Amino acid sequence: MRTTLTEENYLKALFHLVDNEGKVTINELSKFLNVKMPSVNNMMKKFSEKKWVIYETYKPLKVTEKGRREAALVVRKHRLTEMFLVKKMNFGWENVHEIAEQLEHVHSKIFFDKMDEILDHPKFDPHGEPIPDKDGNIISQDLQKLSSCKVGENVTFASVTLSDDAFLNYLTDRKLLLNTKIKIIKIEDFDKSVTVEIGEKQEILSKKATEKILVKR
């Protein structure tokens, strides 16, 4: 039986929120999806029946391997679509999320497999996030937030966390794109804003921005 649009949105939320032990709380899901707790509870009971989560009252949900795979396959459709829009249709990375939100609910597996083939099986989406393969497997990355770096460090911009179009425009305006080399010049004690060197110029990034930028050392 096909998953519904609502179920896929819940699956995607589980993918983004689950911790290293495969757990997430009803409250976290409620806030992330902006859905009332009773509705989340009802959906998670359905997910439990499908063996996607282990549901116990007053305890965090445990996402099963079956549930993890289902969630990864929804994310795969979203990230492949974003990559297709950027690479084949020349959209900016700040303009693809909303379109991908709509196309990710297409149920044709062959459609996304063909998209994957046309793109030559990319490993990462336009925002640097790994694209799950057709079996739901995903590359693990050893990335750190820019906010955790120290003065003098040289790092490479590798990915962004969940972010909106305004943030991606903010990065584009500063020519801070994926694979850009960044040197940490100064960290302000007062507000933890960070002065970075990008090529021959310097930029001051807010603490909020450095929390969303993921880098590799």
10-49 pLDDT tens trace: 999 999 999 989 999 999 999 999 999 999 999 999 999 9
User: Exposed/middle/buried for 13, CB within 10 Å: 0-12, 13-18, 19+?
Assistant: buried
Tokens of 53: 């989560």
Average pLDDT, the chain: 95
123-166 pLDDT tens trace: 999 999 999 999 999 998 899 999 999 999 999 999 998 678 88
Inform me whether the pLDDT recorded for 56 exceeds 80.
yes
pLDDT at 147: 96
Residue 76: alpha-carbon gap to chain centroid: 11
User: If pLDDT is split at 50, 70 and 90, which confidence band does 89 have?
Assistant: very high
DSSP designation for 96: S
Provide the β-strand partners of residue 197.
183, 202
**pTM of this structure:** 0.89
User: If pLDDT is split at 50, 70 and 90, which confidence band does 73 have?
Assistant: very high
159-211 pLDDT tens trace: 998 678 889 999 999 889 999 999 999 999 999 999 999 988 999 999 999 99
Burial 146-176 (b: 16+ CB within 10 A, else e): bbebeeeeebebbbbeebeeebbebbeebeb
Tell me whether strands 213-216 and 201-205 are parallel, antiparallel or unpaired.
Answer: unpaired
Inform me whether the pLDDT recorded for 98 exceeds 90.
yes
Q: Domains, the chain, ranges and CATH?
A: 5-63 (1.10.10.10), 144-216 (2.30.30.90)
Inform me whether the pLDDT recorded for 62 exceeds 90.
yes
Q: Give the percent of the chain with pLDDT over 90.
A: 92
**Residue 201 three-state SS:** strand
Inform me whether the pLDDT recorded for 58 exceeds 90.
no
**Diameter of the chain measured on Cα atoms:** 57
pLDDT at 176: 92
